[in-house]
């Protein structure tokens, strides 16, 4: 009898701890319970900062390089590839059980000078691009599970941007609309048939001319057998009255085409004072934007990943880009303390498991 009483007492004492241990403990756990990936864009130069690497490994199960796999980092000269920074990200991710998104293979920005000013003709550019896609993707085959193959090819009206790859002078397909994008996807699939291939775009998250153009392009590609697996919606948000219902509708129509959607570069910038501090009320409104976007994603089974562009305000691109007028865009503050935005993401993903399907 004394043993039975003691056993019951121990069980009662341990029950709250057992319950607590089975509940999500952070973004990574809550994302797993919601059936999505939660990621962050990263810089390998910051892995040596303990708070950065510890927070990243604890809270996220996916990473993407901010710059380490772009042309200007990988291929500073025509005949030389440097995978050092990208490989460092891969090692970090593998050591912490994280998936890796690749970013990006085709973009009209931040190309090395030898390429941008090389005066190559279309045939030469076509060869260079195919060679680059094949070399980079084969290097990371079996490690990078998804690639942003083409990045930001459309303008705000949904028209193709003038670019090195499209028509200045292009790869020989400038008279065929989105054909150069489709060709890049075909080359990417040949290079790594197992990788998921994404078109990544800014300002096409809701319902507008750009998102209509993305939808039409993906529908056309699917009908013609172009190997596209997903659309990345960047989600750089600068307003606190975001129409998340329109975002949910856009995600739903894209996934209905049979492709995945990833939120790829999520941040919500706020006005800040001279010391870089936002208003408290804005932090609360920001949290509701985060909540709404996460909810919009989780409504569609095909929305498989939610990724922020960085994760701490300490290293966000927003401050320098806005010349110090905006900032505080990410779920963690400069001291790596979770903000209301973090709480909103955590709560929304944790609640997903309890919602009726």
Say which of 59, 152, 205, 348 is annotated catalytic: 152
The answer to whether 158 and 213 have CB atoms below 8 angstroms apart is yes
Q: Does the annotation count 265 as an active-site position?
A: yes
Q: Does the annotation count 59 as an active-site position?
A: no
Say which of 59, 64, 205, 265 is annotated catalytic: 265
- C-alpha atoms less than 13 angstroms from C-alpha of 161 in its C-beta half-sphere: 17
DSSP 329: -
3-class secondary structure, 22:
helix
Q: Residue 106: how many CB atoms within 10 A of its CB?
A: 28
The answer to whether 349 and 33 have CB atoms below 8 angstroms apart is yes
- Phi and psi angles of residue 230, each rounded to the nearest 5 degrees, phi first: -170, 170
**Alpha carbons 201 and 216: distance in angstroms, whole number:** 14
Sign of CA dihedral 55, 87, 143, 202: positive
**What size, in residues, is the chain?**
357
Tell me the catalytic residues. 152, 265
């Amino acid at each position: 009898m004394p043993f039975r009483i003691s056993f019951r007492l121990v069980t009662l004492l341990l029950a709250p701890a057992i319950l607590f241990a089975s509940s999500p403990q952070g973004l990574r756990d809550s994302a797993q319970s919601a059936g999505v990936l939660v990621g962050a864009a990263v810089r390998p130069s910051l892995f040596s900062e303990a708070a950065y690497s510890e927070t990243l490994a604890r809270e996220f199960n996916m990473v993407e390089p901010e710059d380490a796999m772009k042309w200007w980092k990988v291929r500073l000269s025509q005949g030389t590839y440097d995978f050092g920074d990208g490989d460092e990200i891969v090692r970090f991710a593998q050591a912490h059980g994280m998936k890796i998104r690749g970013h990006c293979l085709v973009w009209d920005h931040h190309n090395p000078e030898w390429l941008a000013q090389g005066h190559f003709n279309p045939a030469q550019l076509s060869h260079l691009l195919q060679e680059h896609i094949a070399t980079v993707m084969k290097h990371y085959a079996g490690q990078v599970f998804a690639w942003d193959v083409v990045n930001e090819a459309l303008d705000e009206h949904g028209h193709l941007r003038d670019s090195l790859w499209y028509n200045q002078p292009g790869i020989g397909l400038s008279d065929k609309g989105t054909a150069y994008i489709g060709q890049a996807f075909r080359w990417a699939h040949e290079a790594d048939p197992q990788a998921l291939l994404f078109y990544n775009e800014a300002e096409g998250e809701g319902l507008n001319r750009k998102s209509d153009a993305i939808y039409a392009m993906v529908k056309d590609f699917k009908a013609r057998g172009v190997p596209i697996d997903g659309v990345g919606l960047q989600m750089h948000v600068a307003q606190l009255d975001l129409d998340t219902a329109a975002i949910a509708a856009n995600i739903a129509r894209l996934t209905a085409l049979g492709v995945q959607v990833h939120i790829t570069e999520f941040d919500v910038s706020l006005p800040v004072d001279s010391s870089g501090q936002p208003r408290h009320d804005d932090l609360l409104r920001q949290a509701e934007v985060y909540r709404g976007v996460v909810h919009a994603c989780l409504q569609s089974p095909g929305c498989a990943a939610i990724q922020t562009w960085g994760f701490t305000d300490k290293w966000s691109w927003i401050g320098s880009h806005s010349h110090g007028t905006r900032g505080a865009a990410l779920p963690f503050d400069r001291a790596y303390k979770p903000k209301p935005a973090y709480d909103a993401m955590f709560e929304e993903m944790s609640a997903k498991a309890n919602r009726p399907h």
